[in-house]
Amino acid sequence: MSATASVGRGREDSAWAVPAYRLFLLARTVALVGNALTLVAMPVLVYRLTGSAALTAAMTAVETLPYLVVGLPAGALVDRWHRRRVMVVTAVGSGLAMATVPLAQALDALTFPHLLAVGATLATLFVFSDAASFGVVPQMVGRARVASATSTLVSVGTAIALVGPAVAGVLVTVVDPAWVLGVDAAAYLLSAAVLARLRWPGSEDRRASAPGSGDTPADLAADGPGPSLRREIGEGLRHLWQQPVVRRLTLLGIGASLAGGATTGLLVVVGVEQLGLADDAPQLGWLYSAAAAGTFVASLALPRLQRRLGVGVITTGGFALALVMLLALSWSASLAPALVAVALFHLATTSLIVNGIVTRQVLTPEPLQSRVNTTARLIAWGGSPLGATLGGVLAEVAGTGWALRLAAVGLAASLLGALLTGLLAVPRLADLEAPDD
């Protein structure tokens, strides 16, 4: 089946036409409101508690590391499980974990190891939730609406992120950041309540075995969980490797994740140590709002770009723009140019990320969606914890400017790889061949 029939019809293929998707979007919106506050409140809380750039960046590393540890089995397991229920359980677990932060603060018992444990728990639950979401969206809206659904999710999320960090920047000046995290805890629990009501055709199908694996429940019982799980993980890895476009986008994404991990982990530190802001200055939230503004513009523009430009052109251009903007940020000495650099950097990296996600979802059969997408994200995100950790250490030793410049090496490598492997020749999304499920 050609993707032209499924993704090339333009505006009539809107995910808004699907009632279940609108409810799903509501649940995501509620959760994202809390996440937008945490985006600023958590690093501010860590920096106030420790006063360390390295430990602040280490928090970002911890929040991305679980994808490397459990990404492969999580994708295979979620392809077996009831995806909607996975989203509900992980939202409840995230809310309860986050609620321990303000509780510990009220008891005057909050420590950096506690925050690390909460960050690791949330990140681990996110892997399973993310895997479920990857599988749910194409099933819920149909492949024809995947681009619309994914871009809308990003647009809504970044619209919230435009306001949320600025609000959080003000809140942390008048309220303890730990209590701001309590709002995120409540948002997770409310999101879980909305997800519990979510239904669409096929949503209640039980997955006694991985769809498409050929296993019956009796086969699984005979094999035991180990061999079957390894086989299912292998199916996802083989599909990713044998699909040349998905393989190239995934591997080239590693360089971008190195740079993204360093930048995200150091954003508060850049504001304080490079731009001269106070650690409780509301302008710290402006940096996150600038990032959200870039992401928002990218999410709005990407569906149109995908109809007009090749997948390879979008990705290669994204690497080039992100590289230039990260170098510009590294030399910024005042807030205004830093805000512009942060906004354009995130415009570029969001284009890379969403372009890759939509391409994978269109080119992957439904039974393999969770496995392939979590595996691809695991590989592409593999550099994030390393980038955040190295960025924090380098910032301590040589300053944030040199830390960001060295992080830009990852983007330069990705750009060079894209040019050398002929990625520019990859056609538009509508001209790629989508599989039959």
DSSP conformation class of 213 = S
Tokens matching residue 177:
């950041």
Which pLDDT score is estimated for 324?
97
DSSP codes of every residue in 22-82: HHHHHHHHHHHHHHHHHHHHHHHHHHHHH--HHHHHHHHHHHHHHHHHHHHHHHHHHHHS-
Domain boundaries, the chain: 12-200+228-431
DSSP codes of every residue in 358-411: HHHHHHS-GGGHHHHHHHHHHHHTTHHHHHHHHHHHHHHHH-HHHHHHHHHHHH
Cα–Cα distance for residue pair 101/109, rounded to 1 Å: 9
Q: Do the Cβ atoms of 296 and 162 come closer than 8 Å?
A: yes
Please name the residues in contact with 168: beta carbons below 8 A apart, sequence gap of 6 or more: 36, 37, 38, 39, 40, 41, 180, 285, 288
Q: What string of pLDDT tens digits covers the 437 residues of the chain?
A: 333 333 334 445 677 888 889 999 999 999 988 888 888 888 889 988 988 878 887 787 777 678 778 888 888 888 888 888 999 999 999 999 999 999 999 999 999 999 999 999 998 999 899 888 888 888 888 777 777 788 788 778 767 866 777 788 778 888 889 998 999 999 999 999 999 998 887 766 654 333 333 443 344 334 444 558 888 888 888 888 888 998 999 889 888 888 888 888 788 889 888 998 887 787 887 887 888 788 888 878 887 888 889 999 999 999 999 999 999 999 998 999 999 999 999 999 988 888 888 888 888 887 788 888 888 877 776 677 778 778 888 888 888 889 999 889 989 999 999 999 999 999 987 787 666 55
Cα–Cα distance for residue pair 162/295, rounded to 1 Å: 9
Which pLDDT score is estimated for 231?
85
pTM: 0.67
Q: What is the CATH T-level fold of the domain 12-200+228-431, as seen in this structure? A: Growth Hormone; Chain: A; (1.20.1250)
Which pLDDT score is estimated for 291?
85
Question: At 280, which amino acid appears?
Answer: D
